[in-house]
Structure 1
Amino acid sequence: MSLRNFKTSNPVFNGYFWEDGKSSPKTMTVLGIFIKSMIGMLVIAAITVYLWRLSESGMSMRWFTLGGMLGAIVVSILISFKQNWAHILVPLYIISKGIFLGGFSSYAHNNFPELPYQAIGVTIITFMVMLLLYQWRIIVVTKKLRSVIITATISIMVVYLISFILGFFGIKSYIWGTSWLAIVFNVLAAIVASFALLLDFDYIERYKNKAPKYKEWLATWGLLATLIWLYVEVLRLMQKLAIRF
């Protein structure tokens, strides 16, 4: 079957593997994605630690958090339209996410120093568990499962977007508080983020050694986006529980 006839269901990967499938003799490999992802995570970690130090010295992280988030969104949109620029845009996305995470997690690091490390541990463990569940076919990625995960993901993102917009008008959404409703929402979001990893694994497996080499950057972008989302949800949940109890 031609890659052009296969339509993906992952919002991050949508359309990446349909075009230019025969334009390059080199193909996407799991090793290439792994190396790029590891380098990306190391860069994000370095930026985050640097911003933690600035935060400890008294510098406000508000604009770093907002700027990093907006930068990542803009770069993601550019990647969607300029996929052949991925080798330039994905590193910019990584830097933006590093700035965002540095600002976002600085509060937790300053007030609950162990929480960011615990959140990283939970994220890694979740990643490994989901990978094993996928590899052993305990969970099979079917069309129905893809639809459920994507629908849940879009719904959560819409809630976040509405809450973000309401914040500009001084209306605080329930999801930012420490109520049980807010905690349950975070738990559900973390579960959806963990299941979204299955889609990343599925697409990498489908197109390894088939898609053009440059699309390793796109696969890396998708995987990092999911991992960062999972980490953010886990850290937010831990913060709420720490404050509440």
Structure 2
Amino acid sequence: MKTSNPVLSRLGQAAERERAAGYGPYGPPAGQPGYGQPYPTATGYPASPPAVQPMTIDDVVVKTVTLLGLTGVSAVAAWNLIPGSLAGPAFVGAAIVGMILGFVISFSRMANPALVITYAVIEGVFVGMASKFFAVVAGQQGIILQAVVATFGVFFVMAMLYRARVIRATPKFTRGLIAVMSGLFAVMLINLVLSLFGVSTGLRDNGAIGIIFSLVCIVVASLSFILSFNEIEEGVRMGLPQRYSWTAAFGILVSLVWLYIEILRLLSFLQGDD
């Protein structure tokens, strides 16, 4: 089960360890009582040993829809329940907690559905507060629906391009995109720290630099779906356990939230020029 994707390699190794620690085709693992003997049944006939169910495309679809539903409900609840005086702290807090959880999930060697679900809820608060800012504080009511439609439109276009093999997750493409994403994250983190000290770089301002940077982020976020689709396809081929579908759905959710925020920001810039 070799792959050029480091995430899949890590998950594949974890899955191998699970299968090695579990029951083989002839009963309990080596060294335990009953090794080499078929499983007995009430009728006295041997039975098939328990097996780990591999994940399927349908599993990933169900988990993705579940996470999107949780994020949407959390976003609506945050919009309506968190008062304006706490909107800023809630936004920053959700962003920090979401980032920490994202790192934990991304670098974990085991799929953790509870962490992924928690991440979806926290991201809902983040999305809800960001949406409320642009719609209410900035007075741009119409851009929320526009951003949602554009986000899912881009998602389905990228899915069709991947299925048609117009864009493929080759090793070179994967390494290059991961490097660009890491660079963008570093730039955004540095920009955030500088903004806390009153230093403006223009990357997040309504100007030419801000618009160009948002366009770059939108393109990269869109291409990140290709990595997610490839991870799902390869994960199914490698026979990863069913619960790893939560990890695959997490990857799609991360890209969707990032893409939505960047589109929302770009629409705000463009409407602000009217």
Q: If the length of structure 2 is used for normalisation, what is the TM-score?
A: 0.81
Deviations for 1:73-125, whole angstroms, at most 9, x for unmatched residues? 22123324544361110011111101111111111121211111110100111
1:30 is aligned to 2:25: no
Q: Which amino acid aligns with 2:135?
A: H
**Contact 2:78–2:124 (CA under 8 A) maintained in structure 1:** no
By how many angstroms is 1:140 displaced?
2.1
**Preserved CA contact (<8 Å) 2:5 2:171:** no
Alignment correspondent of 1:93 = 119
Structure 2 CA distance for aligned equivalents of residues 80 and 127 of structure 1: 21
> What residue is the counterpart of 2:78 in the other structure?
51
4+ residue stretches of structure 1 with deviation over 3 A? 57-60, 80-85
**Structure 2 residue aligned with 1:151:** 179
Cα distance change on mapping 1:223 and 1:6 into 2, 3 Å: same
**Is 1:206 matched with 2:201?**
no
Cross-structure match for 1:229: 258
Compare 23-32 and 98-107 and name the one that shifted more.
23-32
Which of residues 89, 105, 110 in structure 2 aligns to 1:79? 105
**Root mean square deviation, CA, Å:** 1.9
Match of 2:131? 105
Shift of 1:15: 2.5
Identity of counterpart residues, as a percentage? 25
Assess, with a 3 A threshold, how the Cα gap between structure 1 residues 49 and 14 changes in structure 2: closer, same or farther: farther
Matched with 1:138 is: 166
Q: Which residue of 2 aligns with 1:19?
A: 14
Determine the structure 2 residue equivalent to 1:70.
96
Shift of 1:232: 0.9
Give the gaps of 5 or more residues in structure 1: none
Cα deviation, 1:213-236, whole Å, max 9, x if unaligned, reads 121111111111111111111111
Pick closer, same or farther for the CA change 1:79–1:14 going to 2, 3 Å.
farther
Q: Mind listing any 5+ residue stretches in structure 2 that lack a counterpart?
A: 20-50
Higher relative contact order (CA 8 A, sep 6+): 1
Report the AA paired with residue 36 of structure 1. K
What number of residue pairs does the alignment pair up?
239
